[in-house]
Structures are given as structure tokens and as C-alpha cells.
Structure 1
Amino acid sequence: MASDPHAALPASLRLEFEDGHLHAAPFGAHLLSWHCGGSERLYLSPRASFGAGKAIRGGVPVIFPQFSARGDGPRHGFARTLTWEALDTADAASPRLSFRLTDREETRRHWPYRFEAELDLEPTAERLRIALSVRNTDPNPIEFTAALHTYLRVADIAGTLVHGLEDRPYVDSTRGDAHCPPSDAPVRFEGEVDRIYPDTRQPLRLTDGEQLLRLEAEGFADTVVWNPGAELAAGLADLGAGEHRHFVCVEAGNVLSPVRLEPGAAWTGAQILTVEPSAGR
């Protein structure tokens, strides 16, 4: 049996709340575990690397200030590979974990702006709000793309569906960013799936035959749905053959159109995950 990947993170933090707990690391402000209602709701690869400067495979990586290779900086930005400051939330009205990242030499090497980012994790009994806030502290306007790269654990991808995108066109990254019409059907996972759905406003639902998870977004315009499929997964050293069957990524993001902030302005985007009773209960 694979060892617990959380054991390799002595700097990680644990937050208890009603009927569950969170496990997060200041490295990347990375949410590693959301245990709620008796079940783990996030996927963390048993081969995840926790070395300095390496992104963690699974949980919720924070993508900022660049999505994928859509820019001149590091792929998916630098936020996920830098250590954030863990904030004191002892006096918060409800349980939460908060982390802050401000510009420094490492960030200005790739993105020459001053900024302040904060990630807030706010759980309740059956709900989790993950909020990313960015403030422009630079004298010039800034533009960035961002996403919460959420790895959701599923029983088996063969029976997994994402509902709520049936009427939305999408950009298919597996086909050279081809623009595709609405599918008029829930998203299924038969091979690699890598899609960007612009302007998605309604709640989404993830079903895998055992659970029902509602996904909502605030401040984020787009939804990214991703699973590497068997062939790509087998070639990822921090994932491994067959592991793709146990997760899907449904990401809230601003990907296709960047956020623009004038000096002193701030923006917040959030993803809200809610566990709902399955149809058979």
C-alpha cells in the first residue's frame, strides 16, 4: 500500500470543522485534502512530488498569474510552486485557513508587477468555499489569468458525468484549441478530455454513481474540465498508469479573457463545492 503522501509535509496545516477536516500546505497555498461526510472528496496522487519548486499533483493547485502556456511565464504560473505565508485566523468567526503571497524577487523575475494574493479556505459541514483574491499594489495596471485546478476524487471515471455544460460551446485543447459547438449531453470521460467552457454561470453537478457534488463559481467566468486519459497518465511520473480513473478536474477560472486591475483595485474569484445526497438516498 502506498504511504500517506501527507506525511511528507511537516509544514502542512490541519483544520477541524463539523463532520470533517481540511489539510493544506503553505507551499503553493495548496489544499491537499477535504474530508467531509465520512469521505475524502479530493484526489492526491500517491506519487505526488513535494520537492521545492515542483507542483503537487492533486488537491487544489492555485494557478496564477498565467494559465497553462498562455503567456511568457512558467506554465500555470508561479503561485503553485512558492511558499505562501500562513495567516493567523484564530479570531475568525468560523473555521478557516488563509494564506498570503506578495511579490518578491522570484515573482518579479517572471512577472514584473507588485501584487498581493490571498487564498481563503472556508468549510462548513457539507460545503467548502475556496476563494482567491488579488490586489494590484503596482503603480501600473496589471492583467492576469487564474484558476483553481481542483482534482475531485471519483469512484470510477467510467461512470462519471459532469452536468450543466450541455448547452455551452467549448475550446478543445486536445484538438489544437478547436472551437466546438455544444454537445447537448453531460461531459463523459472516454480518453483524454481537456476543454475550456467560456462564460459558464450556472451550477454544475458531478456524479460518479456514488456521490453528487454541486460546483458553483463566483468571479470566475470559465470552467475547465480535464482528465489525462490512460495514455497521457501513464507518461506522467507523478501520476502513473491507471490513476486517471480516480479523479476529474473541474476548474473555476478566468482563462480566455484576463482579469485587468487598475492600481489599488482588487478582484476575488471563488469555487464553492457542496456535497448533496445522491439520487438513491
Structure 2
Amino acid sequence: MSGNPARVRLQGPDGAQAWVSLQGGQVLSWICAGRERLYLSPHARYAPGQAIRGGVPVIFPQFSDRGPGPRHGFARTQLWTHAGAGRFLLRDDDATRTLWPHRFEAELSAELGRDSLAMSLRIANTGHEAFEFGAALHTYLRLDELARAGLIGLGGRRYLDATRHDAPGVQHEAQLSFAGEVDRLYPDAAGGLTLHEDGRRLAIRSDGFPDTVVWNPGERLAADLADLGAGEHRRFVCVEAAAAAAPLRLEPGQRWQGSQTLTVQDPH
């Protein structure tokens, strides 16, 4: 990865490991049972102020364009501090306050188990005024072939379809398959999901985040994204733990926490 930002290696049991970029406080890699479980674009860009395509970008304080600030907020483009033991911190400064005039502390923690990766995002209001925010763990899950993958656990759920200007819909299928661009926000649908492909299974649980977002750019959009490229959409799907449908509110001194845990359930 040319131009790599500073990274921290986390070591877990039975050879599990992860790499976290200080740029964005972003998990870039998670190797479990000898297999890479996250997708990182071969065309990802590593430069100050640049979002890194892949891994687990931290979305804060705005989800997508649901607000007046930069798309998906600024946390994914800022330099975080490693606080040890898998903890990474971002605090407001003059630069962030020009984009969002609030005082805060964000903490990402990543913990490796023998077959799991648990990530938590904590937001604290360190100022004297209440604020509202959106947040997500924008998790890129690696696949061998998108067409052979399915996501179980969202059957019967309502969603907003961003490919049709947030038109409402209901997923009638028990399993979500992927053909063409998918960009769905499922309000009040959190956790209890399973991603499967060719006999491999990944359980996805979230707590604190009220919503789930599922995204894949499809062939046409992927080809137009310079940091992704033609055909790369076939190698991942994003399943995001999110607070996106409605903003969260923190009073001065209050804290919020949301987490996402990925557990490998491959047959042995």
C-alpha cells in the first residue's frame, strides 16, 4: 500500500490479527483463521484528508449527506491518537470546529477474539451545549464473488432506498441477494444478521446503533470511483451498524456507545 499512513497492529489469540490506521481511526485488515475478512481497495488512497476506501471507516458526526457538513462527516479523514490496548481517540480541534462547532471526544476500540472482531464507538459531549449527530461503522466485508453471497436477517424489514431518492420499501425476501447497485437504510433494524458465501458464514451483531445500512455500488458506479475500479464491487458488501435514520442527541457531559461484533462461523 503505497503511501501507507501510520498503522497499529493488534494481535489476538490463535493468530488473529488486525491493522488499524491512525488516519481515520480505521480498521483496515482483520485476519481470522488464516483468512482476510475485510475488503480494502487496491486503489485506496492514503493522503492527509483523504478517506480510505475499505476496512471499517468511522462515520461521524454526519451520515452520508443527512446534514450540512462533509459527506459521512470528518472523522474518517482526521488523524486519530493511539491510546493503547486497541483504543483510538479523536478530539475536537480548531479544524473540526470549522466544520462542526461542537466539543467532543470520539473513541474507537477494537478487540480480537479467537473467531471475532468487536468494535465499539463511543462519543462524549465535552462541551457546554447539546448536539445532535449521526454515526456508523461502515464495514466492508470481503467476498470472493458477490453473486454467490447472501445476507439473512432483514426479511420483512422496511427500508429507505437511496438509489431511488430514499423511496420506502419492504424487503419481502428472507435473504438479500445482490444484483446491481444496493444502497438501503433499514431503520430500527439492528444486528442479528448472517452473511454467507460458499458455505462460509459471518454473524453480524450490533448494539447501540439503531439502524442497519447495506451498500454495494454495483458495476457501473464502481467503475466510476477512482479509488475502487472496474469489477471491484464483486469483492465486498458493506453491512453497516448505523445511527442514520434520525439523529442522536447528547447533552453536555453525556456519552453514547454503539458496537458491532463480527463472528466467523466457517465450518471446520
TM > 0.5: yes
Given residue 9 of structure 2, which amino acid in structure 1 is its aligned partner?
R
More strand by share: 2
Find out whether 1:269 has 2:264 as its counterpart. Answer: no
**Counterpart residue number, 1:194:** 183
Q: In the TM superposition, what is the alpha-carbon distance from 1:137 to its structure 2 partner?
A: 0.8
**Counterpart residue number, 1:241:** 230
- The CA deviation string for residues 236-273 of structure 1, in whole angstroms up to 9 with x for no partner, is 00000000000000000000111111110000000000
**Counterpart residue number, 1:86:** 82
Q: In the TM superposition, what is the alpha-carbon distance from 1:184 to its structure 2 partner?
A: 2.8
- The CA deviation string for residues 193-252 of structure 1, in whole angstroms up to 9 with x for no partner, is 000001114510000114100000010000000000000000000000000000000000
Q: Is the 8 A contact 1:133 1:266 kept in 2?
A: yes
Distance, in Å, in 2 between the alignment partners of 1:267 and 1:43 is 28
Find out whether 1:206 has 2:195 as its counterpart. Answer: yes
Q: In the TM superposition, what is the alpha-carbon distance from 1:181 to its structure 2 partner?
A: 1.9
Instruction: Give the counterpart of 1:162 among 134, 151, 173.
Output: 151
**Unpaired segments ≥5 residues, structure 1:** 90-96
Find out whether 1:232 has 2:227 as its counterpart. Answer: no
**Counterpart residue number, 1:9:** 4
Q: Is the 8 A contact 1:155 1:210 kept in 2?
A: no
Percentage of pairs with the same residue: 51
Distance, in Å, in 2 between the alignment partners of 1:42 and 1:182 is 26
**Counterpart residue number, 1:41:** 37
Alignment of 1:101-120 (within 5 A): 101-120=90-109
- The CA deviation string for residues 112-155 of structure 1, in whole angstroms up to 9 with x for no partner, is 00001100001111011110000001111111000000000011
Distance, in Å, in 2 between the alignment partners of 1:143 and 1:10 is 30
Find out whether 1:28 has 2:17 as its counterpart. Answer: no
**Counterpart residue number, 1:92:** none
- Large movers: runs of 4+ above 3 Å: none
- The CA deviation string for residues 61-82 of structure 1, in whole angstroms up to 9 with x for no partner, is 0000000111100000000000
The TM-score, its normalising length taken from structure 1, stands at 0.93
Distance, in Å, in 1 between the alignment partners of 2:197 and 2:73 is 31
Root-mean-square deviation (Å): 1.1
Distance, in Å, in 2 between the alignment partners of 1:8 and 1:187 is 37
Alignment size in residue pairs: 267
Q: In the TM superposition, what is the alpha-carbon distance from 1:17 to its structure 2 partner?
A: 1.3
Distance, in Å, in 2 between the alignment partners of 1:10 and 1:55 is 12
Distance, in Å, in 2 between the alignment partners of 1:134 and 1:53 is 21
